[in-house]
Structure 1
Amino acid sequence: MSVVPEVSSAPSSVQPEGLFQRILLPIDGSELSLRALATGLELAKTFGAKVLILHVVPPFNSVAYMTEFLAATELRYSQHAVQSASRYLDQATELARQAQVPCECHYVFGERPSEAIVAAADEHHCDLIVMATHGRSGLNRLVLGSETQKVLMRSRVPVLVCR
């Protein structure tokens, strides 16, 4: 004989724990990614989870001519990209602090953000990814691709997609 616990519709002060312990929150600095970050922080607070906030910096791409000029341009790009990543992550860290959610922040250089996101989820043993989608459709989606779609296809953990 099995016993089915009674389910109450009254609000409970008991918070669910253990479902998610480490949540990956990739951000790109856009308003959409910050809204997904807020959703991820709410979930983390609800489940008592820690978060890993990740920003993927695309590497400098160029045609290989005028080597000295391009080397200087690549260095400036890298410095600017790291400053932008730090700014995004500082903002995300402050939001996590305000939500009282423990967080760790990283940025990585990568040509394929979806691969970097899936690799970070594996490497840091995340059990959920919460990310935004820009909601492109038609030709824009075909030409630009969808990093979120690629994460959905490759991830071994659940992915919550926010719009």
Structure 2
Amino acid sequence: MYKKILLPIDGSEISAQAANSGISFARQIGAEIVTINVTQPFSTLIGFDGMAASYAISDGDYEEAAKKEAQEYLKPVLERAETAGVKATSVITSNYSVADGIVEAAKEHNCDLIYIASHGRSGLSRLLLGSVTVKVLSLAHTSVLVYRVKESS
């Protein structure tokens, strides 16, 4: 059925849980996985408050730090996949929209499923925080499986 699964990882506990579940799913169906972390460009930090200027961060410093952080997020997932006997590769990409980055990577890497976590937020917190998962669902041209965990109140 599915041969290549994209697993977006953002460093959260929920994305780690989804990764574990996605690796198990891939193992069961004989699929490989592509783990991805989407960083946002340096210019997104500048925003309205000039945050980057106040911390004296250069774009080169930011890009290097973002890449290092992404590698730290992806490394344990790759190790778990290897332990489970699942072929896995990783991708780090930069995009102003995390959802766009995920959808583009799925297409670029010929993934036939995006296995993504959802925080299960509703109401005001969903409105304020937005939802990458909802955006991926609306943009994706491939199947999307949502691993949903409701946050405890």
For this structure pair, what is the TM-score category when the shorter chain's length is used for normalisation?
0.7 to 0.9
- Cα distance in structure 2, aligned partners of 1:119 and 1:55: 12
Higher helix residue share: 2
How far 1:69 sits from its partner (Å)?
7.7
* Structure (1 or 2) with the larger CA radius of gyration: 1
Q: In 2, distance between residues paired with 1:107 and 1:71?
A: 25
Contact 1:57/1:109 (<8 A) preserved = yes
Alignment-mate amino acid for residue 81 of structure 2: A
Q: 1:14-29 alignment to 2 at 5 Å?
A: 19-29=1-11
Amino acid at match of 1:94: E
Give the share of equivalent positions with the same residue, in percent.
40
Q: Tell whether 2:95 aligns with 1:110.
A: yes
3-state SS of paired residue (1:141):
helix
Q: Which residue of 2 is the match for residue 9 of structure 1?
A: none
Query: CA 1:27–1:68 in structure 2 vs 1: closer, same or farther (change >3 Å)?
Result: closer
Q: CA deviation at 1:138?
A: 1.3
Q: Single out whichever of 56-65 and 124-133 deviates more from structure 2.
A: 56-65
Offset at residue 70 of structure 1 (A): 7.4
Q: Is the 8 A contact 2:4 2:31 kept in 1?
A: yes
Structure 1 partner of 2:83:
98
- Give yes or no for the alignment of 1:47 onto 2:29: yes
One-letter identity of the residue aligned with 1:121 = A
- CA-based RMSD: 2.1
CA distance in 1, matches of 2:97, 2:56: 22
Cα distance change of structure 1 residues 49 and 137 upon mapping to structure 2, 3 Å threshold: same
C-alpha displacement of 1:71 = 7.1
CA-to-partner distance for each residue in 1:96-140, whole Å, 9 max, x for gaps? 111110011011111111101111111111111111012221122
Count of residues paired in the alignment: 144
What is aligned with 1:80?
Answer: 65
TM-score normalised by L of structure 2: 0.85
Match of 1:125 in 2: 110
> Matched residue of 1:29: which SS?
coil
Alignment-derived partner of residue 143 in structure 1: 128
Alignment correspondent of 2:46? 62
Equivalent residue of 2:92, what SS? strand
- One-letter amino acid matched to 2:64: Q
For the 8 Å contact 1:62–1:70, the answer to whether it is kept is no
Contact 1:22 1:49 in 2 (8 A): yes
- Where 1:156 maps in the other structure, the secondary structure is coil
